[in-house]
Chain A
Amino acid sequence: EAQVTQNPRYLITVTGKKLTVTCSQNMNHEYMSWYRQDPGLGLRQIYYSMNVEVTDKGDVPEGYKVSRKEKRNFPLILESPSPNQTSLYFCASSWAGEAFFGQGTRLTVV
């Protein structure tokens, strides 16, 4: 089954404690991206990657890092999380414009 898998689904952490949200896709897509979704603001792109070792900033990259060492994986790293990064996060992979989204990761930073 074609899918994008994110882990964990839920995460509560404390300010400043580094965390990684994993994302994996099994469709051999070159393009992957991370979004955050906040009430009233909609989906906003954090980072995207057009291929292995090729990443670029989206609209809200501050406080986030990504890496793309393999085609299937695109982890999102928060080196020092802050409460304003509390949000619902989605990973997506794309082909021919159509985006396939993961189940989402609800992150709470206290």
Chain B
Amino acid sequence: SQKIEQNSEALNIQEGKTATLTCNYTNYSPAYLQWYRQDPGRGPVFLLLIRENEKEKRKERLKVTFDTTLKQSLFHITASQPADSATYLCALDSVRGSTLGRLYFGRGTQLTVWP
């Protein structure tokens, strides 16, 4: 069965630095990959989606890469701020080519940005 791993449960960095989170998957060929942010006790919020034919996507201070050969996505937050502290979830679709498909989530990485 498919397996999704996010590099670590927790990541602590200093304000202003770049945070890099990793999502690895096995036994899987997703058509697209997504990243979500989740604050304690709240629902995940969509951040970025990257398709299998895209190498990189950016949105403001966020950047996502997708390497289907390595089966890995990297999620970067540049110039990090304490307000970026949250849990970040990686999610992959289950149906190739579908716009609706089921999502499988990693367990998340809890990011803490300290002043």
Q: Which residues of A contact B (CB under 8 A)?
A: 4, 30-31, 33, 35, 40-45, 48, 50, 58, 88, 90, 92, 94-104, 106
Q: Within the complex, what minimum Cβ distance (angstroms) separates A50 from chain B?
A: 6
The listed residue (A31, A42, A97) touching B49 by CB distance below 8 A is: A97
Q: Are B41 and A104 in contact (CB under 8 A)?
A: yes
Q: Are B107 and A40 in contact (CB under 8 A)?
A: yes
* Those of B71-113 within 8 Å (CB) of chain A: 89, 91, 93, 99-108
Q: Are A42 and B107 in contact (CB under 8 A)?
A: yes
Q: Are A98 and B102 in contact (CB under 8 A)?
A: no
Q: Are B42 and A104 in contact (CB under 8 A)?
A: yes
Q: How many A-B residue pairs have CB under 8 A?
A: 59
Return chain B residues, CB-CB under 8 Å to A101: 43-45
List the 9 closest A-B pairs by CB distance, nearest first.
Answer: A101-B43, A42-B107, A43-B105, A31-B100, A98-B46, A96-B99, A101-B44, A90-B43, A42-B105
A24 to B4, CA, bound (A): 29
| B34 CB within 8 Å of chain A | yes
A92 to B91, CA, bound (A): 14
| B25 CB within 8 Å of chain A | no
The closest CB in chain A to the CB of B104 belongs to A45
Q: Are A98 and B100 in contact (CB under 8 A)?
A: no
Q: Are B100 and A94 in contact (CB under 8 A)?
A: yes
Q: Within the complex, what minimum Cβ distance (angstroms) separates A92 from chain B?
A: 8
